[in-house]
Structure 1
């Protein structure tokens, strides 16, 4: 008995060390992603060419240009990429940005470093979750700390899976790593729970099924929400570029937003992610009802967690319906998607921390 307890404590300690180590590497990845975006800005030549393209109705900007640089008294010609971000005249059909870095080899280098560090951080993060599982000998998501660490790990794994399949989602890297750091920081500082805490109601195989589905659904909803927020910024940016009065976005906004996919691409990505994962969220609620009947003798009792899960379902159902309804596409539908994700976040943090119910375990 004592040997088993000591082994559990050892694995719990290893899990904690791995989670902190993952945070350290995610921090390095954050710095590299930031450098990628800063150093990936297009050169002044590139920006000038793009500006000329915006006001020209006949010829597109060149794909490349040459600039002079003096080095040790010798004039050197440098090849500078020019990537046009403007639509065809009279159109809002913008091309996609490169996803992150553009016009700078340094930006691309830092981008590769950032991706490598993200992969390393994910592997360490995964090790922390596995060690927690070994420590408690059960599913590692029985409280808010475990749910948070697993949630962010699944979100990063989904991002890396998209990249592995050749999807242009490098633009997710910086906001994803930033919020993963915030999530883990909150988990280790506010939500931390000892590894041996488990209430009787959670001793069920439904813990593996119901909560794992909730984690996967939430992680995908999160990626969809990120794309939706960026869509709103990019759409506003594109509106200014095509403003008939010639109103142009600021230099800082342009340097970031021009590298994102087009608003239409971001909107499409968010819709597909939310549409694909919505059936799993539906199953999550159904699985929770079946578990509730086994644990408490009723399928549905309008417990706060059940109520807000249903509200989240309704919000996303309205969003998906809106996308298929004329007049409710674009920004209006995007706002519905963000309302749905806000309901999910409140269901997780607000209900668990501030509202008492049958789903409130171990204080958090």
Structure 2
């Protein structure tokens, strides 16, 4: 299978450009977060029986009239716009890699990690479309994206090349793509639960006032997981079907399969705990973070350290 070196080089350049633009977007969101303040409230003045003027009770305080967009708000809006530009470059990098290699661009750890980050960014922009008030969380969502993309472009980078014969199957597009999408979504959910736990434990100090409330963070984690979990479930089932076609068995307790199943159980437990009285705001967020850690563990440690049937490709 011929490789187009020029298009592959363009793909790498677009990837680097996407990373650079995401860095700018993260700093813009960070500036918004640092400059974000609680709404200023003004007190209502009331006349007393003696004709004097006094402050009304605190319950009668009303929000001050807006005086225009603040600098932090402008930075946040710019951060979203710049993130969208980075997303377009990111999509271009993945599409160019696929055309250059004439295959589905999920054939190694570099491509897989890049696609996970793309799914996370798309998920985040969709969330902002529905809930703009969550924008101050942007810097925290983009941070793991940038870490993964940096690792992908350095430690995990692989030159554009054909995949081994075992991966030349339409199941590569079905199984790995759904795992990628689910992992990207669950990354956003995991970040939300980590922030939830930090805010609730009082570990963020004054920074907690700049973040959305714990209820908003809890809803974000739950709603994203509700979407990501069925996709992950389908990915596990598709992987089993592909395993039967490639290796003659649906399930062999390969390390990758085992940890993927453990992650599925953890996320199922999270959704159950989230719907259980007494666990919703205590144990459920911890379970969600455990699921996120399991996904990351499966992505890196199992792929790169433990030997198994999936080791040759570094794929899920």
Flag whether TM exceeds 0.5 (same fold).
yes
* Partner residue, 1:325: 276
Aligned pair partner of 1:172 in 132, 137, 151: 137
Change (3 A) 1:232 1:117: same
Aligned to 1:20: 16
Aligned to 2:50: none
Cα gap change, 1:308 to 1:60, in 2 (>3 Å): farther
User: Alignment partner for residue 285 of structure 2, among 319, 334, 346?
Assistant: 334
- Give the 3 Å change call, closer, same or farther, for CA 351–47 of structure 1 in structure 2: farther
Cα deviation for residue 229 of structure 1 reads 1.0
Unaligned runs of 5+ in 1: 50-55, 66-78, 82-103, 238-248
Query: RMSD over aligned Cα, in angstroms?
Result: 2.4
What CA deviation, in whole Å up to 9, does each residue of 1:85-132 have, x standing for no partner?
Answer: xxxxxxxxxxxxxxxxxxx71111111111111111111111101111
For these two proteins, the number of residue pairs brought into alignment is: 303
* Rounded Cα–Cα distance in structure 2 between residues aligned with 1:338 and 1:355: 23
Kept in 2, the 8 Å contact 1:26–1:177? The answer is: yes
Q: Does the Cα contact within 8 Å between 1:224 and 1:271 map onto a contact in 2? A: yes
Q: CA, structure 1 residues 264+163, in 2 after alignment: closer, same or farther (shift >3 Å)?
A: closer
1:59 match: secondary structure = helix
Q: Which residue of 2 aligns with 1:114?
A: 79
TM-score, normalised by the number of residues in structure 2: 0.88
C-alpha distance in 1 between matches for 2:103 and 2:22: 27
Contact 1:197–1:362 under 8 Å retained in 2:
no
Matches within 5 A, 1:184-195: 184-195=149-160
CA distance in 2, matches of 1:113, 1:134: 32
1:269 to 199, 207, 220: 220
Q: Is the 8 A contact 2:32 2:136 kept in 1?
A: no
Uncovered stretches (5+) of structure 2, i.e. residues with no partner = 44-55
Matches within 5 A, 1:218-237: 218-237=183-202
Question: When the two structures are superposed, what TM-score results if normalisation uses the length of structure 1?
Answer: 0.77
Indicate the residue corresponding to 1:243 in structure 2.
none
Instruction: Report the alpha carbon displacement of residue 190 of structure 1 after superposing the two structures with TM.
Output: 0.0
1:158 equivalent to 2:137? Answer: no
Q: What is the rounded CA distance, in whole Å, between the counterparts of 2:254 and 2:233 in structure 1? A: 17
- Report the CA distance shift for 1:47/1:64 in structure 2 as closer, same or farther (over 3 A): closer
Give the drift of 1:363. Answer: 6.8
Distance in structure 2 (CA, Å) of the matches to 1:172 and 1:34: 9
Structure 1 residue 41 and structure 2 residue 6: aligned?
A: no
> Alignment partner of 1:192: what SS?
coil
Aligned residue number for residue 232 of structure 2: 281
